[in-house]
Every structure is written in C-alpha cells, then in structure tokens.
Amino acid sequence: MKQENERIIRIPCRYYRVYTDPGVPCVEENFRFIERTLPLPVKQTALVLVDVWSVHYIDSWLQRAAEITREKIVPLLQAARRIGMTVVHAPSPYITERRYPEAAPPAPVTRPPDDWPPPAFRGIYRAGEYAPFGRDPEPILKDVYARYEVEMAIAEPARPEPGDLIITTGEQLHTVLTGHRILHLLYTGFAANWCLIGRDYGIIAMNERGYNIILVRDATTGIEFHDTAASRTATAMTVREIETKYGWSAAAEDVLRGCG
C-alpha cells in the first residue's frame, strides 16, 4: 500500500513560450515549445473526461470523436483505473441529471432573477423588439433536442464504472478534487474549442482555480469550420491556445507509457 501511495508517473509535456531570452529579438518567429517531463504523483492526479457523448448533431465531428474515444480515451481510461488514478466523468448537466441523478449536486439556492439585460434580450436568439439583434432561428434545433432527450448519454466504451466519479458543475469538481487532495488534471474529451475549454469544469475555469492542467492533445478534437474541416486548423489553434495560456499538453502515447 505504501508503495502504491507514493507512485509517480513521469509524462513528457510541453507548453508554448511567447517570450524570448534576454538579447534575443522578441518576435513571433523566435517563439518555441518548452518541453519537460513532469513527475505526477498518482494520488494527486485525476483523469477528467469532458462531454464524451454518444450522439451529436454534427455528423462529421461525431465520426472523429467516436474514433478518438475508441483509440485514445478508452486506453487512457483503462490505464488510469489500473494504476488507481482518480477518474472523473464530466458529461454535462444535461446527461448527469437524466442518467446519473445520484451524482447531481444539491439544487442551488435560488435568488430573484436579474432584470438587466431584459429577458427577451438575453442569449443569441433574441425575441420581440430585440429580434433584429438576434440570430435567425435554427429549424433543426427542435428535432436535435428531441433526439438528445432520448439518445444522449456518455459514449458506451467510456461509460463510468464502479470507483469512477461523476460531476455536474465546476464547483462540484473543485469539491471532489479538494477532498482527494488532487492538484494535476489530465484532460480529455470534447469539443476542444467548445466545452473542453469553456465549461465551468473545463480547462479555463479549472486553470483559474489554480490546478495544473495537462491536455492530452490527441485525445480531443474541435468543431471545425467549412474552411478548416480538411486541415483541422480550429483544433490545432485551440490546442496551441491551451499550451500558451492555460497549461501543458501531452501525447496519449506518452501518458500510457508513463502509466506503465
């Protein structure tokens, strides 16, 4: 038991440095990756799986995500369980409330709603007198949400097993990590430029709470645009943004090797 408690996994990681040494011209052409092998205590490290969904309305993206889930996330999940690393599933409140109600946090204390901005002005699909400032309604959304109501779940090969943890909110994740005295978060899941980085349990929020963030950079993919779908530029830029501002990144192969 003592040996297991003290186990260290060593993972080659990198971040992107937007500075130069004294005397070196500070121009973009001189920016570089900094690489370092991090000694992560297993008991202070968690594998966090964000929004690993079984369905999505973007068919091309779902095809990539399903492949990454099978080939990258599942082996990471199995390795983490094998060495006793804490595994945290963060599948979105939508899924937790419907599929894992026992994991949902207590209802927050309600307070009177703010009256500004006006309710009809809020969001991107504005109504009433504010409709000219809103986006056009999307006719497929009604059917998408109806499908999600029935089908949406954690993707089958990555579903929780006994001993895994499930969270719904960033505050709940912080409470779990505090209770387990965890400092290092290995992030996988989707989508890189939407939920993985933007959820309140995602990379930006948990970086702001002070945790050491390590993105498993080939265990995610972003939502691409019509002019980046072939090049995967949106995904690459999100990974670089994380490497620049919010933490480290590592390759799945190196994480697996570190786990033995």
What CATH number is given to the structural domain containing 10?
A: 3.40.50.850
Check pLDDT > 50 for residue 2.
no
Q: What is the pLDDT of residues 135-171, one digit of tens each?
A: 999 999 999 999 999 999 999 999 999 999 999 999 9
Residue 203 pLDDT: 98
Residue 120 lies in a domain: no
Residue 123 lies in a domain: no
CB 214 within 8 Å of CB 185: yes
3-state secondary structure of 168: coil
Residue 1 pLDDT: 40
Return d(Cα 254, Cα 79) in angstroms, integer. 12
Confidence grade of residue 182 (pLDDT, cut at 50, 70, 90):
very high
CB 31 within 8 Å of CB 18: yes
Greater confidence, 110 or 241? Answer: 241
Return d(Cα 183, Cα 199) in angstroms, integer. 19
Residue 112 lies in a domain: no
Strands, sheet with 165-166, edge to edge from the N-terminal-most edge strand: 32-41, 8-17, 248-250, 212-216, 184-189, 45-50, 86-90, 165-166
Q: What is the pLDDT of residues 25-36, one digit of tens each?
A: 999 999 999 999
Residue 134 lies in a domain: no
Return d(Cα 86, Cα 94) in angstroms, integer. 23
Q: What is the pLDDT of residues 88-131, one digit of tens each?
A: 999 999 999 999 999 888 777 777 878 899 999 999 999 899 99
Place of tokens 């895994």: 164
Q: 184-189 and 45-50 as β-strands: parallel, antiparallel, unpaired? A: parallel
CB 214 within 8 Å of CB 186: yes
Domain interval for residue 159: 2-105+151-258
Return d(Cα 164, Cα 158) in angstroms, integer. 11
Domain count, the chain: 1
Residue 247 lies in a domain: yes
